[in-house]
Amino acid sequence: MKVADPIQRARTLLHMRRPADAERELRGLLAQQPEHVLGHALLGLALIQQARADEAVQEAYEAVRLGPDQWFPHYAAAQVHYRAHRAGDAMAAVRAALDLQPQHAPNWELLARVHMLRGEWARMAEAALRGLSIEPEYGDLVALLSLACTNLGDTGQATAAAAHAVLIDPESTLAHFVQGRAALRAGDARRAADSFREVLRLDPGFGVARDLLVTALKQRNPVYRRLSALRGRFPNGWRLIFLLPAVPPVILVFFLLALLHWVAWVAEAWTTARLARGRTTRLLFEGAEARVSAACLGLVAVGAVLLGLGIGLGLEPVGTAGVGLMALVTPVQEAAHTGSPRVRKILYGWAGLLAAAVAVSVATATPVVAVLTVYACLLSVWIASRLRGRPPQAV
């Protein structure tokens, strides 16, 4: 009983999301019994929940070494590798757990999650269905099946599975999250927003749900929705550059695509600024996001004033500088909406250089510099897409 007590307490503490307390229990146990298999396995889980991946992996390996014929050490190791985003190691570990215990539905859930981490949606759906054949009312497996179907484009099956997941467990954040994802994919922005609000009610720290709620709220704006749809049709417009020597008129198409992106970014800034001021939505936006949107709207306003002055007073450098200021919306928004901190810094640096070029064009009264800056600003959407590379297959 003395051996079982710290294990039971550690399991309870992990379930209560108190990994530091669970770690203390387990370290006390392992000080007395250094080769306790469950102790090392659970310690690995406690450490990974504290984002101490290297220590967690060591404990997971130790648990597998001590109990290679037990399924739980492999399962715990797979959890550790999965949370550390080590998809290959997680796959090997969960396969080993399934070889030892194929009738345990949580093993299939973990396999589905590993496939999700690798962006293997069809295999994710297959793993979820295998688990549901063992335990048909397993809510998380139903939710994962919905998510896989959403990414496979089967919105009907995704919607039905998500509704079933919510019915099984109305308090599940995952169930409401996948319901929102399915609704967003089906074009039902209102229902998606309701689902993501419910996720945030249950778990205010669910950052992805917050971002998707903002997306759903913006999609309810018909102007923003249409511009986003049009912009999304030309994600690789940069390739038109190679046609310019052979077909010079294509430059007009290229310019129109870049202009369309600029209009969409202005709509993005306007929608975000409006939501940031709304009574029920202002808490969804971080200060930086609201400030970027306000700055972009300020660039448009100041640029329009300078353009009007340039035209009215016949000051060509001032007018072209105004256009350059308005065009800065594209590089600023591209930087703000980049997930990678390194790429974001590069794009903000690029935007800063372009802003300096606009200032130089006014100081030296050389409108040609401002014109070139406008072109560079509009081209920033494709520069950013090259820097980001292929978008990750993330949930």
Q: Is the pLDDT of residue 265 over 90?
A: no
Worst-scoring range by mean pLDDT, 24-38, 255-269, 306-320? Answer: 255-269
pTM for the whole thing?
A: 0.68
Tokens of 125: 């759906």
Q: Is the pLDDT of residue 144 over 90?
A: yes
Q: What's the pLDDT score for residue 368?
A: 86
Query: What is the DSSP secondary-structure string of 194-257?
Result: HHHHHHHHH-TT-HHHHHHHHHHHHHTSHHHHHHHHHHHT-TTGGGGGGGTTT-TTHHHHHHHH
Q: Is the pLDDT of residue 313 over 70?
A: yes
What is the per-residue pLDDT across 46-58, written as a single tens digit (0 to 9) for each? 999 999 999 999 9
**Which residue did the predictor score with more confidence, 219 or 393?**
219
Percent over 90 (pLDDT), the chain: 54
Which domains does the chain show, CATH number per domain? Answer: 1-101 (1.25.40.10), 117-220 (1.25.40.10), 227-388 (no CATH)
**Burial zone of 99 (CB within 10 Å; 0-12 exposed, 13-18 middle, 19+ buried):** exposed
**Phi, psi (deg, nearest 5) at residue 18:** -125, 65
Exposure string for 47-63, b = 16+ CB within 10 A, e = fewer:
bbbeebbebbbbbbbbb
Q: Is the pLDDT of residue 289 over 90?
A: no
CB atoms within 10 A of CB 208: 13
* C-alpha to C-alpha distance for 353 and 16, rounded to whole angstroms: 50
